Every structure is written in structure tokens, then in C-alpha cells.
Amino acid sequence: MKFRCERDTLADAIASAGRAVTSRGGALPVLSGLKVTAGTGTVELVGSDLELTIRTTVPADVDSDGTAVVPARLFGEIVRNLEPGPVTISVAGDDAHIEAARSSFSVRLLPAGDFPPLAPVEGASATLDAGALVEALRQVVPAASRDDARPILTGVLLAATRQGLRLVATDSYRLAVRDLAGVSMLSEGQQVLVAAKALAEVQRLLSEGEISVTLSGRDVSFTHGAAEVSTRLIEGDFPNYEQLIPSGYPNRLTVGRDVLDAAVKRVRLVSQGRDTAPVRMAMSADRLELSAIAQEVGEAREVLEAKYEGSDLTVAFNPEFLLDGIHALAGDEVVLETIDPLKPATLRAVDDPDFLYLLMPVRIS
């Protein structure tokens, strides 16, 4: 195998496919590598941990076809640090030779025969607007759990509704729900659970245009341009999230999104680097006071102008979760609806009824 490719093009492709490469101990050693396949005018790079697979194809001048598995981390570091210009990759025996300008490297290959066969996902396909999907993923994915001990919560629920497609994620402390009206990729009543890690990679790879989604009984793939992300569906029952959403709220706060964002970032400064102190929100007519108290460190307070309807109330939230919700919202103003200091509250944008962020308060003395 021998081919030439521009450094930046190759480096980007290695970085994209390399994000699926396993870092877990005990996995197949060959999965620490990227499978590189040279064909007519293109080179395909594949990284996988058997749950998540990323394929990307780049144009190249191919002198001879072939397949090799190159250690992903070292391959990426070498190519990224080469001088700009064409890079030549050639394989001889058990080594890959990487040459560019005045630099040359020889890297020992991993056994290509040990790389597991990764068949493409076959099933029903649908085409979605990439821009709408990436915005929905931006809003929902951060709410999924990162704790592998509860695998169900590490996924994002994709569910067909009468209006279109619904995306839902929760880590049991907050809940994000986004509706995409008029989007159809599932049959009526169907729902699937997709790993948030995979959807984060889909979000990273997306740009303008369309994305093709192919769903089988066990897997789903997302194809956009020269990149494809495929992943095994998570098995199990997603929590009954709808029962968590209150039917109504007696208290309603309306405040500028950017103003609230900046104020929360300031008052949380006293607790950064330590056990996170909750941000308290004391709400009364036309006034919102934010505060944070960190024992043995200090405290911070800030008063904002806001519109408030309801009885005077103080409620506290984890500042990181609160900021995630604020950042997920679009528009100039946000609405915080509350019941009491212990029941779930919701954040919404004034002009976006299709997204809801539910947040559990933190108990304070």
C-alpha cells in the first residue's frame, strides 16, 4: 500500500476516526489502531471500540491499494506535527513508513487480520436536515449521564411522535426534551436509545446540508458527506420521563438569558475548585438575587432585574447543571418555572416551545 495525502486533510481524518478508538483496558489490542484502506483515489480510515465506529474517507493519490492497521495515537501525533504539504504513507512488511518534507518515520503495524469485521448498518434509511439535528443534539446530549454503571441513562431516547421526532436525555438530576416537528425517521410509536457518546460525535461532524440515518434492529448509522458514525443501540427501558414534568407551575420568572448566564458564572466563582456550592435564586417581584456560599472561602451575591409572578421563593441549583440549561436555550429571554424549593423546575426560552430543560433543585438549610 502506498498513497499521498495533504497533511491537514489526513490529520483531520485521523482525529475524527480516532475518537472511536478504544482506551479501555482488556479490549482487543488491535482496536488501539486505525484501519487504513487505500483504494482508487481515496483512503478510508476506520476507528472502533465495537460499540462506536467512525469511518471517514479522504481523497488521495494512491499508487498501490492495500489495508493496514496503524497505532492511532502515534499516527495522529506524527501527522499533526509534520510540516505542511503532502504526506506519503507506504507499507512494507510489518511497518508503515511516513514521509513528508525532511521528516521520515517508521511505525510498527498492528495485525490487520485481527481487526474485527465491521459490516455496514443495513435497514430503513431517512434523510434529515443536518442543521436542525445538530441544534437538537446540542441541547439534549449534555443532559445524558456519563456514569456507565447506569447504561440506560447514558443514551438519548429518539421517539416518534404525532408531530415528528422527540429527543430526550436525563442523568436523573436534569432532563432535556427537544421536539423536531415534521421530522420522520421512525415508524409510528417506535423509539430507540442511542448512546450520547455517539451522538456527540455526530454533532461534531455535522455541518450544513443533509444527513442520512440508517436503522437496523441493533444498530444505527449517521452518514454526512465523507463521514459515517455507527453505534450499537442501547437495550432496555428508558425511564418514564413524562411523569416527572409537572402539569403546571404557580411561579414564573422571566430574565435575560445572557444576563443570567453571566451572573451565575460570577457567583459560582467562590466555589470553583472545591465541592460545588449551589447557586441560590431568591425571587420576588421584579427582583432576582443570586448567591453562593462556600464555607471557609467566602460568598458572592448579585441582584438582577427580572419579571416575577408568584409568591416569594428561594430555590437552589447545581451551577453547572443550571448553566448547561441556560446554554441550551435560544433567544434573548428565558423563563424559569417553579413550584417550591424541592420540586422540579423547568427552564424554557420565551420564543421556543419545542425545548424543555427540567432541573432538580438542591436542598439547602
pLDDT of res. 5: 97
Residue 255 domain-assigned? yes
Residue among 170, 190, 169, 52 nearest 126 (CA):
190
- Using CA atoms, how far apart are residues 245 and 287, in angstroms rounded to an integer? 26
Supply the range of the domain harboring residue 330: 246-359
Residue 119 domain-assigned? no
5 touches 43 (CB < 8 A): yes
- The list of the chain residues with pLDDT below 50 reads 25
pLDDT of res. 35: 97
Indicate if 215 and 267 belong to the same structural domain: no
β-bridge mates for residue 91, sequence order: 96
Residue among 41, 32, 40 nearest 70 (CA):
32
pLDDT of res. 188: 82
Number of structural domains the chain divides into: 3
Which helix (H) or strand (E) is 319 found in, with range? helix 319-328
pLDDT of res. 23: 65
C-beta neighbour count of 164 within 10 angstroms: 16
Does this model's pTM top 0.75? yes
pLDDT of res. 121: 87
pLDDT of res. 186: 84
Which helix (H) or strand (E) is 11 found in, with range? helix 7-18
pLDDT of res. 27: 67
Which helix (H) or strand (E) is 276 found in, with range? none
Indicate if 47 and 153 belong to the same structural domain: no
pLDDT of res. 25: 46
Three-state secondary-structure class, residue 42: strand
Indicate if 86 and 159 belong to the same structural domain: no
Q: Which of 243, 261, 282 is the last residue of a domain?
A: 243
Indicate if 210 and 307 belong to the same structural domain: no
Degrees, nearest 5: CA angle 209-199-17: 85
What CATH number should be reported for the domain holding residue 180? 3.10.150.10
pLDDT of res. 297: 84
Indicate if 161 and 82 belong to the same structural domain: no
In the block, cell 488521495 appears at 60
